[in-house]
Amino acid sequence: MSIPSDLPARLAEALGPSAVITEGPDLEPYAVDWRKLFPGRPACVVRPSSTDQVVRIVHICREAGASIVPQGGNTGLAGGAVPDASGTQIVLSLTRMAAVRELDAVGMTIEAEAGCILKVAQDAAAAVGRLLPISLAAEGSATIGGVVAANAGGVNVLRYGMTRNLVLGLEVVLPDGTLANGLRRLRKDNAGYDWKQLFIGSEGTLGIVTAAVLRLVPRPKHSVTALLSVTDPDAALRLLALAQDDLGDQISAFELISGTSLQLVAKHAGLKAPIAEGEWFVLIEAASSLAGLREAAETMLGAAFEREIALDGVIAESGAQAAQLWALREHVTESEAREGKSVKHDVSVPLTAVPRFLAEAGKTLAAGVPGTRVNAFGHLGDGNIHYNVLVDEGHDAAIVNRIVHDAVAAHGGSISAEHGIGQYRVGELVRYRSGAEMTLARKLKRTLDPGGLLNPGKVLSP
C-alpha cells in the first residue's frame, strides 16, 4: 500500500504548515507509545485546531487513500494510538483542541474538547466545587478524547463506573467525513438510538471523538481510609459484603493486595504496612458528604474482627496517614519492575469468582511454567485483577498469557478489563470472544468504516 508523496504538503496547505510534522525529533513522541513497546513510523503527524479541520483532514486522507490513527495523550497501554511501521499512516493528534468549552456547577456537566488534559478538566470541576470522577495514573497527560475512546477505568470505578457512565454527549467525525453532533447535556434522552455508545471504548476505529460532555458529581466532604489483613481472597470478599452493608455506595475503592506485592514494596521501596504481616491485604476508601462516615467505618472494622473476617487492621488518623496507606498500593508496580521481568495481565472476572480464579491460575502456572511467582493485586471491588507473573529471562510470555487468559475465560471473565485491545491483544480477542460477537463487531466496523480509514489493525485484525 502506498500513499501520494505530497499528502503532507496537501495537509499543510489546508491547515497551515505549523499543523503538520513530517520528520525530526518532534515526530518521535507521536510515533511510539510512552513505554516504547509499539514503535511506529507515520507518514506525518497532523494537529488540527478545530473540529472543522478534523473534517477536512478526513476528506483529504480519504481521497489520498491514507489511513488515520487518532491520538490523544498517547498514554495507552495496548498500542491503540500509534501508527504501524509502514510509513503510510497519518497520526491525527487532537492535542491542540484542548479547550474546556463549558462548565455548569448546578447542572453538573463539563464540555471539553478531545485534546483537553484530564487533569485540566478535573481541576476545572474542582474549581466550582464538583468532582470529575475519572482518576488514572496518567491523568496529567491523558486527554478527554482518549479517555472516552478507551472507556477509561481507574480507581473510582467501583463508585462511579467506567467513563461510559459519565458521558452525556459526544461530537464525532465519522470515517466518511460526516460530523455527528450529539453534544447534548441531558441526563435522560431516549429519543432514538443512542449512537454515541458505539464510539465510547472503540479506540478510534469507528470515528474520531472531537469533544465530549461529561457528567460531574458532588464532591464528598469526608473520607476514611483503612488497611486490613485477611487470610485469603475469600475473606476479602466477605469483608466487601460487610463493607457494602455498613458503608453502602460510599465505598470508593476496595483494593486487594497480595502478601507478595507488599513484600516487593518493602524490599524495593522500603515501605512497610503498619499492621501484622499476612497473606492478603485489603485497602478500603470511602467518602461521603455526610458526617458519620468514620463511625460507620469503625463499626464495620469492629464487626470484621469480631466475625474473624479480618486479622488486623488500621484506620488512617489523618490525610498523611491515608497517603501512607495508599503509597503501599501505589508502589506495587514500580517495585515489581525493580524485582525483574514480568508478564502482565489486566483481567476481570465476576467478583465472587476472584478466589477460584486466583487459586486455579496459580496452580496451573506453577505446573506449566515452574519457577514463576505471581504478583496479584487490583480492584477487587470491580473484579479487576492485575495478575502479573514474575518470570526469568528467556521466559515464554505466550505460554504465561495463555494459561492466565484461559483461566479468565473459564470463569466468564475478560482479557482486558480496562486497558483495551489496541494492537496488543487483537489475536487474543479472537480466541476468547465468540464467533457471533466477532461477526457483529466486524459488521459494525464495515458499516461505519467500509474503507478501513480509521486506525486499521486496532481492536480487529484488518
Closer CB to a copy of itself, 106 or 276, in the complex: 106
Dihedral of CA atoms 57, 60, 66, 67 in degrees, nearest 10, equals 30
The answer to whether 285 and 159 are in contact (CB under 8 A) is no
The answer to whether 48 and 94 are in contact (CB under 8 A) is yes
What DSSP assignment string belongs to 34-65? TTSSS----SEEE--SSHHHHHHHHHHHHHHT
Q: How far apart are CA 384 and CA 62, in angstroms?
A: 39
Residue of the chain from 382, 404, 453, 454 that contacts a copy of itself (CB under 8 A): 382
3-state SS assignment for residue 105:
coil
Q: Is 295 in the site for a copy of itself (CB under 8 A)?
A: yes
Q: Which three cell numbers, joined as nine digits, stand for 81?
A: 494510538
Give first-to-last CA distance, the chain, whole Å.
13
Residue of the chain from 197, 232, 274, 363 that contacts a copy of itself (CB under 8 A): 197
Q: Is 439 in the site for a copy of itself (CB under 8 A)?
A: yes
Residue of the chain from 290, 337, 397, 398 that contacts a copy of itself (CB under 8 A): 290
Q: Is 107 in the site for a copy of itself (CB under 8 A)?
A: yes
Residue of the chain from 187, 267, 338, 363 that contacts a copy of itself (CB under 8 A): 187
Closer CB to a copy of itself, 182 or 456, in the complex: 182
Q: How far apart are CA 384 and CA 193, in angstroms?
A: 30
Q: How far apart are CA 412 and CA 212, in angstroms?
A: 32
Instruction: Give min distance, CB of 179 to a copy of itself, in A.
Output: 6
Instruction: Give min distance, CB of 42 to a copy of itself, in A.
Output: 25
Burial tier of 317 (Cβ tally within 10 Å: 0-12, 13-18, 19+): exposed
Q: Which of residues 206-225 bind a copy of itself (CB under 8 A)?
A: 206, 217-221
Q: Which of residues 110-129 bind a copy of itself (CB under 8 A)?
A: 129
Residue of the chain from 134, 144, 162, 454 that contacts a copy of itself (CB under 8 A): 162
Closer CB to a copy of itself, 198 or 271, in the complex: 198
Q: How far apart are CA 143 and CA 126, in angstroms?
A: 17
Q: Is 17 in the site for a copy of itself (CB under 8 A)?
A: no
Closer CB to a copy of itself, 13 or 249, in the complex: 249
Burial tier of 427 (Cβ tally within 10 Å: 0-12, 13-18, 19+): exposed
Closer CB to a copy of itself, 97 or 216, in the complex: 216
Residue of the chain from 229, 375, 384, 455 that contacts a copy of itself (CB under 8 A): 384
The count of chain residues that interact with a copy of itself, using the rule CB under 8 A, is 101
Residue of the chain from 368, 437, 461, 462 that contacts a copy of itself (CB under 8 A): 437
Q: Which of residues 42-61 bind a copy of itself (CB under 8 A)?
A: none
Q: Which of residues 298-357 bind a copy of itself (CB under 8 A)?
A: 348-353
Backbone angles phi, psi at 91, to 5 degrees: -90, 125
Q: How far apart are CA 205 and CA 455, in angstroms?
A: 5
**CA-based angle 361:156:400, to the nearest 5?**
20
Type of residue numbered 119 = K
CA 257 to mean position of chain CA atoms: 19
What is the C-alpha R_g of the chain?
23
Q: Which of residues 394-413 bind a copy of itself (CB under 8 A)?
A: 412-413
Residue of the chain from 54, 421, 453, 454 that contacts a copy of itself (CB under 8 A): 421
What DSSP assignment string belongs to 75-120? --SSSTTS--SSS-PEEEE-TT---EEEEETTTTEEEEETTSBHHH
Residue of the chain from 241, 323, 337, 398 that contacts a copy of itself (CB under 8 A): 241
Q: Which three cell numbers, joined as nine digits, stand for 412?
A: 466468564
Which residue stretch of 90-98, 140-148, 242-250, 256-264 sits at the interface with a copy of itself (rule: CB under 8 A)? 242-250
Q: Is 461 in the site for a copy of itself (CB under 8 A)?
A: no
Q: Is 137 in the site for a copy of itself (CB under 8 A)?
A: no
Residue of the chain from 53, 88, 416, 455 that contacts a copy of itself (CB under 8 A): 416
Residue of the chain from 189, 232, 334, 396 that contacts a copy of itself (CB under 8 A): 189
Q: Which of residues 247-266 bind a copy of itself (CB under 8 A)?
A: 247-250
Q: Is 455 in the site for a copy of itself (CB under 8 A)?
A: no
* β-pair partners for 71: 93
Q: How far apart are CA 9 and CA 59, in angstroms?
A: 15
Q: Is 182 in the site for a copy of itself (CB under 8 A)?
A: yes
